[in-house]
Chain A
Amino acid sequence: MLIKLLNTLLMIAVAISITGVINRTRAVWAGRKGIRFFQHIYNVELQMRKGAVYSTTTSILFRIAPCVYLGAALLAFLFIPVADLEPLLSFHGDIILVAYLLALSRTALILAALDTGSSFEGMGAAREALYGALVEPALMMGMATLALFCGYSSFAEIFSMARDLDMNLTVVLVLVAYVFVVIMFVEAGRVPVDDPRTHLELTMIHEVMCLDYSGIDMAMIHIAGWLKNSIFAIIAANAISVAFCFHWWFAAPLAVLGTGIAIGVVESFRARNKLSRNTTFILTIVAMSALVLLTGFLLIQNIEI
């Protein structure tokens, strides 16, 4: 029980610090001093204390959607172990449940965006739905690669122990981690797929879907975003730690620093893709994850022969 608690606390710590690391990295590269490390939490806290404005076009679905968005992400979050720690919840087949809970949260926000009747939010919804659909196979294949190496059952079992792996497989695992980080770029709406700092609604994806949310709803959407980020960050870090050093004190900082710095650096040096190039970008991830899976499969076959 204590281990489960530690796991959950670590996950929360990871979730709230990734955004801070991203902001700090960007500031350092830009030569700025940067905002406070936990500024995003103060922002959300401020939003929590505010009232709200709801569009007259919307129905009750619009008000429930942020709760579904956060609730589903929260539930998915509880299934993720930090390296060898035990997650709060686990069962045989939870890796599929997590993927579909994330899909549920995405669907809720898409419907809410369509509920406003705004053309901009429709645009965001359409893009989010398409990119979410295309990235799904990459996510599943990443999980399948992990299942192939570690013997599948659930996240907890996949990451339950360090495995004596061949050096070649280590490379594949690092690639799996890379795939998960890139999937996170897509799911979290980060450069190069989407730019959360852009000022033009026409080119937004995730941000434009929440244009009509304010106050507590907006805070919920932000919190859910952190949770989703941390899910992908931890899975990527776990994949690497299976190969190198399998302990929670290695995986947790790796998740924060690895993904945080990666996103910060990419956002400092790259511009957002042209929207029409995004599908190519995502299909490349899918192809890449297929390649990783195939390589892993061939390597395993060789070793066993």
Chain B
Amino acid sequence: MYLYALLVTVLLIAAIYLAPLRSKVWVATGIVSLAACSAIALAVMAFLGGDVAIATFITPLFGAEHLSVDKLSSLFLLIISVAAVATTLYSKGYVEGYLKRFSPAHISLHYTALVLLVVSMMLVVMSSGGFSFLFSWELMTIASFILILFEADRQETRRAALNYLVMMHIGFMFLVAGFALLYSTTGSANFSAIEGYFKWAAPMPLFLILFAGFGMKAGIFPMHIWLPEAHPAAPSHVSAIMSGVMIKTGIYGIIRLMQAIDHNIDLLYAIGLVILLSGIITGLWGVILAAMQNDIKRLLAYSSIENIGVILIGLGVAAVGHAAGSNLIGMCGICGALLHTVNHSLFKSLLFFSAGNIYSKLHTTAMNQMGGLAKHMPVTAMLMLFATVAICALPPLNGFVSELLIYIGMFNGVSDGHEVLYAVGAIIALSLIGGIVVLAFTKLYGVVMLGSPRSTHVAESSEVDNLRIAAMAIPAMFVLFIGLLPQIAIRPVTIVAEAITGADHYIAINHFEPTLTTLSYVGFALIAIIVALYLLKRRAQRTREVESGPTWGCGFTALNTRMQYTGESYSEGLENIAKSLMKDTVDGRSVEKSEIFPAAHNYRVRHKDKIDSLLGGWWVVLMYRINLNVMRLRTGHVNKYITFALVFLVAVLVLTIVGIL
């Protein structure tokens, strides 16, 4: 069985390496589509029937494990499959620009890693836990590490990739420790053993260890700092699949943990609070920092952190509500969280693809170099607008549906008197997040796509190839579908929620269906009203004088494009409030008040995460100090080294005699 798997893997990798340079992408697409099709088939089987068992095997460390697809896995399999197909299709156009710069082996390695990433993510959500889970988790990390390293000739890329690798392994250590603890207590390292563990042993330590391990992947505060470094370094399609899907495997792990706690009310309550609180902090931190960024991909990375926060808020509301005895709140929270997981994978891929289109034409991700791109890349602009509206959770697109479900859960908590204060806290956080997301993404879209160009590169840009547009249309279609027909999209989600909470999914269906059906009508009505108003206006204007002229400069006639509002100035107001969350690094000198006729200035400010320096700063300094002292022993004289060896041997001897060793 192992042998066959190995053989197939080697053959597939060989196929990628042997294919001609331009066909490598098609081989990879073929493999990924095959995997996606079989994953979708398995998911559908699991939805219609019961769990599908694939294989059982004995692993060297933790004993019997198996691969199987249950309802939760199948939801994640669907997300992975859709994103994977879109990503590989998209990668063709994106990688084409690098074919001359890199060797064929480099390109092959990239596609191999992409295929491995997809397969390993599928294995992660199918594995029953223990060794196979850790193995595929590690495979996922390594594959994504190679993918980030695509532009390995840039120093920032190498640094970000290494940073990522180190952070992921800290998280991995937590997971290993957690599973080892689980195995040593219960004799099994499968997820199904966690329930027993929580009954017999102190549950909180294990939960926190695994939560930290999964949280590192998901980017939960304060373990989020790898995201804003890794995404700007990675190619855009890699960012899309990493941010859209890979970080969700962390969420998957957390849901698996919640599933195990279902019957222990006190524990569920405590854990719900932990999740809710970390969700609130993660969400707010992510969104505020997102609004400050002036680099497209950093902004998107922080917004991923924020969305993870929203998902956790949903899960926290579900756990607390369930513990308080309300199945309805539990259902609202969990359905909202699951649907938001799906939604985020769609619109975040779309946004990263748009960023990729821009990067491949302008070769920069600095927002303040752009402007007016909508005129040169109209289709990209339209798709990006879709994603922007969706991620701002505005009706009638899909982001609103999932946030609405979470809100309904929280408002039910308030009106039924279940844990009112927590519900109110979550309402405040979610509404503030919702408000600042609008700030962040109007900044992104406005500065990049609208207005007039801020640099000459913009004028040379043009629309990207059709295949990339087609790849982007896949998530865009789902965004529209979930947004306009939420009553259909919610059905599979409620079935998964039933499998997680054990509450009957008809509660949810009965409760959501009228709401979501009306919401769907409202969505269509909104579009109809807007279209009608626009047509009426056009019709009325046909007989009137409609002119065009320059933008009104408030009496100033020598306007130029440098006077536009930049991204930095756009978020200045928020910056003044949230100064304490960031550490600014400044290059150059700003214009001082005493300069009446200022000369040209070079001024560059970057807003860095304060957590970055808090976590990254002190221990590096400490290590440096320790190393400095250790270095004193390295004198370069052989006689001294021999003395050290002698001292060591004597010490061993003495310790043995005393009986310590």
Q: Spell out A's residues near B (CB within 8 Å).
A: 48, 50-59, 61, 63-64, 66-68, 70-72, 74-75, 89, 91-93, 95-97, 99-101, 103-104, 106-107, 110-111, 114-123, 125-127, 129-130, 132-137, 139-141, 143-144, 147-148, 150-153, 201, 211-212, 215-217, 220, 276, 279, 290, 293, 297
Contact = CB atoms under 8 A, between A and B. Distances in A.
B473 interface: no
Interface stretch (B110-118, B274-282, B464-472, B545-553): B545-553
B565 A141 contact: no
Interface string B421-444: 101100110111011101100110
B285 to A, nearest CB: 15
A290 B431 CA distance: 13
A96 B408 contact: yes
B216 interface: no
Given A100-B400, A111-B450, A67 B407 contact: no
Given A71-B533, A141-B428, 6 more contacts: A61-B385, A100-B395, A117-B372, A140-B428, A201-B554, A215-B541
16 contacts: A51-B541, A51-B545, A54-B547, A55-B550, A75-B522, A91-B519, A92-B514, A103-B435, A111-B450, A117-B452, A118-B552, A120-B554, A122-B565, A143-B411, A144-B411, A297-B424
Interface in B507-553: 511, 514-515, 518-519, 522, 525-526, 529-530, 533-534, 537, 540-541, 544-553
Interface of B: 371-372, 374-375, 381, 385, 389, 392-395, 400, 403-404, 407-408, 411-412, 414-415, 420-421, 423-424, 427-428, 430-432, 434-436, 438-439, 442-443, 445-447, 450-452, 511, 514-515, 518-519, 522, 525-526, 529-530, 533-534, 537, 540-541, 544-554, 559, 561, 563-565, 569-574, 576-577
A121 B442 CA distance: 13
Contacts of B372: 57, 117
A54 B552 CA distance: 10
| B400, B430, B434, B530: residue with the most chain A Cβ atoms closer than 10 Å | B530
Nearest to A129: B439
B551 A75 contact: no
A57 B452 contact: yes
A97 B395 CA distance: 8
A277 to B, nearest CB: 12
Given A125-B446, A148-B415, A115 B572 contact: no
Contact of A134 (B435, B443, B445): B435
A4 to B, nearest CB: 15
Contact of A52 (B411, B436, B534, B541): B541
Contacts of B559: 118
B431 A140 contact: yes
Given A107-B392, A136-B434, A148-B415, A55 B576 contact: no
Contact of B412 (A89, A119, A152): A152
B450 A117 contact: yes
A97 B570 contact: no
A127 B572 CA distance: 9
A48 B543 CA distance: 12
Contacts of A121: 551, 565
A55 B552 contact: yes
B530 A130 contact: no
B540 A59 contact: no
B545 A152 contact: no
The majority secondary structure among interface residues of chain A is helix
A57 B560 CA distance: 12
A201 B565 CA distance: 14
Contacts, number: 251
A67 to B, nearest CB: 4
Nearest to B421: A297
Given A55-B552, A75-B526, A115 B450 contact: yes
A164 B257 CA distance: 45
Contacts of B400: 100
Given A52-B544, A67-B530, A107-B438, A59 B374 contact: yes
A18 B371 CA distance: 40
Contacts of A293: 424
A242 to B, nearest CB: 14
B411 A70 contact: no
Contacts of B514: 91-92
A100 B439 contact: no
A54 B546 contact: yes
B563 A119 contact: yes
A107 B389 contact: yes
B84 to A, nearest CB: 31
B447 to A, nearest CB: 7
Contacts of B534: 63-64, 67
A55 B544 contact: no
A134 B407 CA distance: 18
A64 B553 CA distance: 22
A117 B408 contact: no
Contacts of B421: 297
B431 A116 contact: no
Contacts of A134: 432, 435
A56 B515 CA distance: 43
Contacts of B540: 48, 216
A50 B545 CA distance: 8
Contact of A279 (B541, B552, B577): B577
A144 B395 contact: no
B573 A51 contact: no
A147 B411 contact: yes
B515 to A, nearest CB: 5
A133 B437 CA distance: 8
B515 A51 contact: no
**A51, A64, A92, A121 — most chain B CB neighbours (10 Å):** A92
B530 A64 contact: yes
A120 B534 CA distance: 26
Contact of A126 (B412, B420, B573): B573
Given A141-B428, A293-B424, A152 B414 contact: yes
A212 B435 CA distance: 25
